[in-house]
Amino acid sequence: AFTTMLIKRAHLLNGSEQLFIRYFLQIPIMYLIVKCVGQNLFGPNESRKMLAIQALTAVICQICTYFAIILMDPSDSKTISHTSIIITAILSRFIFREKLSIIHIISLIMAFSGVVYITQPSFIFKKMDNALNLTSLNSISNSSATKSYENLGILFAFGSAIRFGFSRIIVRSNAKKNI
């Protein structure tokens, strides 16, 4: 609440400067809280490897999401990132040996078809420009360089979904171990 009040009054600062001030104040306060409670700052010694892997997958997920948004339509990028639920279910089947019932399989198919058909990503469904005649932009967007960037964006978006699914699996694994 205190840092939010400071940020609201700092309208002359740009976003990165505001974040710096916020974290500059929050990190020492969080450190003091962790030390007062008596917990180890980096978790128990036996679980540090899994916590580091979890943090690394989350960071890679965010980097992939950033590049996916830059290289393709942001709505399509978000569409692909919603497939992380499906990827999480498939990974939990292989990693935790969970059994997928017919209900789970039908739910996964419905989730995937919902992601595809409701949002109608432009790399599957070609959208028509109804209101505007954007011939110059259409000729640019149909170039092979733009298509290769879009394909690279799709790969980054799927990479983000896979890493986010893997990060969820690690969180669940850590929860089973009471970390």
Low-confidence ranges of the chain (pLDDT < 50): 129-141
- The burial class, CB within 10 Å (0-12 / 13-18 / 19+), for 135 is exposed
Q: Determine the pLDDT at residue 135.
A: 45
Q: Determine the pLDDT at residue 132.
A: 46
- The burial class, CB within 10 Å (0-12 / 13-18 / 19+), for 50 is middle
Q: Are 64 and 160 in contact (CB under 8 A)?
A: yes
Instruction: Tell me the C-alpha distance between 158 and 82, whole Å.
Output: 10
Neighbours of 144 (CB within 10 A): 7
Q: Determine the pLDDT at residue 106.
A: 92
pTM: 0.62
SS3 content of the chain, % helix, strand, coil (to 5): 75, 0, 25
- Above pLDDT 70, what percent of the chain? 77
